[in-house]
Amino acid sequence: MTTLPFLPIDFNFRVADSNRQTFMPFTSLLSPTVNYTTYKGDLQTEERIVSNVASFGRQLGILSEAVLALAEGKHDSDELERLRRMMARIEDVKRRNRNAVEERAKEAFESLAKSDPQRARVVLEAMKSQLETATSAER
């Protein structure tokens, strides 16, 4: 890509294919922006966690402090309680996002069923097949 300060710069580090990040230098002056284009998890959930709970650096710092506290034998430390609070907030974001995804899926299927019942049956059979595959993979 280009190196002009107002356009995105795309970095693809050769060490790992999944470590591709797009940096927006001009907009980063006002608020840092990193776009993880090949992120393995649910991007929307991760963005909400980083925006509303703790940045990656803060998460790492809280985790590091808790590990050091455990290494020092402090099993009821403030650091561990801080980690527990952060994890509870993260789980709450994940739960809310799962509920939102489920609602969007239901609404989309209901809309398809109303507009094209035959196609809805095809989609339903494909979804059943995917569910069976996912269920057997869990075992």
pLDDT at 54: 93
Strands 34-36 and 20-23, by their bridges, are antiparallel
Query: Does 49 lie in the same domain as 23?
Result: no
* Entry pTM: 0.58
* 47-51, 58-62, 84-88, 111-115: range with lowest mean pLDDT: 47-51
Does residue 105 share a domain with residue 85?
A: yes
pLDDT at 43: 81
Verify that 88 and 27 share a domain, yes or no: no
Based on the fold, state whether residues 26 and 51 are members of the same structural domain. Answer: no
Residue 81: predicted pLDDT: 97
pLDDT at residue 76 in the model: 92
Domain count, the chain: 2
Q: Give the pLDDT confidence score for residue 2 in this predicted structure.
A: 45
Domain that holds residue 59: 41-138
Residue 35 pLDDT? 57
Domain match, 80 and 134 both: yes
Yes or no: say if 77 and 69 are a contact pair by the CB < 8 Å rule: yes
E runs forming strands in the chain? 9-12, 20-23, 34-36
Check whether residue 68 and residue 29 sit in a common domain: no
Is 33 in the same domain as 47?
no
State the burial class of residue 106 (Cβ atoms within 10 Å of its Cβ: 0-12, 13-18, 19+): exposed
**Among 89, 91, 128, which Cα is nearest to 109's?**
128
35 and 83 belong to one structural domain: no
Write the burial class of residue 65 (CB in 10 Å: 0-12 exposed, 13-18 middle, 19+ buried).
middle
Residues 28 and 59 grouped into a single domain: no
**Does one domain contain both 9 and 49?**
no
3-state helix, strand, coil in the chain (%, to 5): 65, 10, 25
What pLDDT, on the 0 to 100 scale, is given for residue 40?
Answer: 67
Whether residue 126 sits in one domain with residue 60 = yes
Same domain, 32 and 53: no
